[in-house]
Structure 1
Amino acid sequence: MNSCDLVAGILNEHWGFGATEVSYAPVGFGSYHWIASGDDGPRWFVTAERVGSDGEQTIASAIQTARQLADRGYEFVVPPLPDRTGRLVREALPGWTFQVLPYLHGWSTPDGAWDDPAEREQIARIVGRLHAATPPDALQRWDFAVPDCDALLAALADLDRRWSTGPYAEPTRLRLAGAYEYVHRRLEHYDALAREIEASDEPWVVTHGEPHSANVLRVTDDAASTAPRNGDAGRMRLVDWETVRLAPRERDLAAILGGPTDVLPAYQSEAGPVTPRAAALELFDVWWSLAEIASYVRLFRQPHGDSEDTRQSWQELTEYVPS
Structure 2
Amino acid sequence: MEERPAGIQDSDVRDALRAWGIDIVDWRYAPVGFGDYHWSATDTRGRRWFVTVADLTRKSWYGDGTEAAFRGLRDAMDTAAALRDGEPDGRLDFVVAPVRTAGAETVRRLGSGHAVSVFPLISGTAGHFGETLTPHDRSLVVDLLAALHRTAPPPSARALPPDFATRPQLLAALAELGDPWHGFGPYAEPARHLLADHAGAVRHRLDEFDRRAGELKAGGAPLVVTHGEPHPGNVLRAGERRLLLDWDTVGLAVPERDLWLVADGPDDLTRYEESTGRTPDPSALALYRLRWALNDIAEFLTLLRAPHGPTPDARQSWDALADTVKSLAAEA
1:251 is aligned to 2:257: yes
Match of 1:278 among 267, 278, 282: 282
Rounded to whole Å, the distance in 2 between the matches of 1:44 and 1:301 is 35
Superposed displacement of residue 2, structure 1: 8.5
Superposed displacement of residue 43, structure 1: 1.3
Match of 2:200 among 150, 156, 181: 181
Pairs within 5 Å for 1:89-128:
89-128=107-146
Superposed displacement of residue 115, structure 1: 2.4
Gaps of 5+ in 2: 1-6, 63-68
Residues 122-161 of structure 1 show CA distances to partners (whole Å, capped at 9, x for unaligned) of 0000100011111111110011222311011111111111
Rounded to whole Å, the distance in 1 between the matches of 2:186 and 2:305 is 10
**Residue in 1 that maps onto 2:82:** 68
**Are the structure 2 counterparts of residues 288 and 189 from structure 1 closer, same or farther at C-alpha, using a change threshold of 3 Å?**
same
What letter is aligned with 2:32? V
Which 10-residue stretch deviates more, 307-316 or 168-177? 307-316
User: Could you state the TM-score of these two structures normalised by the residue count of structure 1?
Assistant: 0.90
Does the 8 Å CA contact 2:227/2:258 hold for their aligned counterparts? yes
**Residue in 2 that maps onto 1:19:** 24
Gaps of 5+ in 1: 221-231
Superposed structure 1 runs of 4+ greater than 6 Å apart: none
> RMSD between aligned alpha carbons?
1.8
Q: What secondary structure does 2:252 align onto?
A: strand
Does the 8 Å CA contact 1:30/1:309 hold for their aligned counterparts? no
**Residue in 2 that maps onto 1:43:** 48
**Residue in 1 that maps onto 2:298:** 294
Which 10-residue stretch deviates more, 41-50 or 67-76? 41-50
Rounded to whole Å, the distance in 2 between the matches of 1:253 and 1:278 is 10
Rounded to whole Å, the distance in 2 between the matches of 1:142 and 1:2 is 31
Q: What secondary structure does 1:45 align onto?
A: strand
**Residue in 2 that maps onto 1:162:** 180
Q: How many aligned residue pairs are there?
A: 307
1:217 is aligned to 2:211: no
Pairs within 5 Å for 1:182-201:
182-201=201-220
Does the 8 Å CA contact 2:162/2:288 hold for their aligned counterparts? no
Does the 8 Å CA contact 2:42/2:48 hold for their aligned counterparts? yes
Residues 173-215 of structure 1 show CA distances to partners (whole Å, capped at 9, x for unaligned) of 0011111101100111100001000000321111111111110
Does the 8 Å CA contact 2:180/2:189 hold for their aligned counterparts? yes
**Residue in 2 that maps onto 1:223:** none
Rounded to whole Å, the distance in 2 between the matches of 1:177 and 1:29 is 26
Superposed displacement of residue 307, structure 1: 1.3
Residues 275-309 of structure 1 show CA distances to partners (whole Å, capped at 9, x for unaligned) of 11111011001101100000011111111111111
Does the 8 Å CA contact 2:143/2:272 hold for their aligned counterparts? yes
Residues 229-274 of structure 1 show CA distances to partners (whole Å, capped at 9, x for unaligned) of xxx2xx2111111111110111011011115x82223323432x22
Does the 8 Å CA contact 1:114/1:120 hold for their aligned counterparts? no
**Residue in 1 that maps onto 2:309:** 305
Superposed displacement of residue 23, structure 1: 0.7
What letter is aligned with 1:186? R
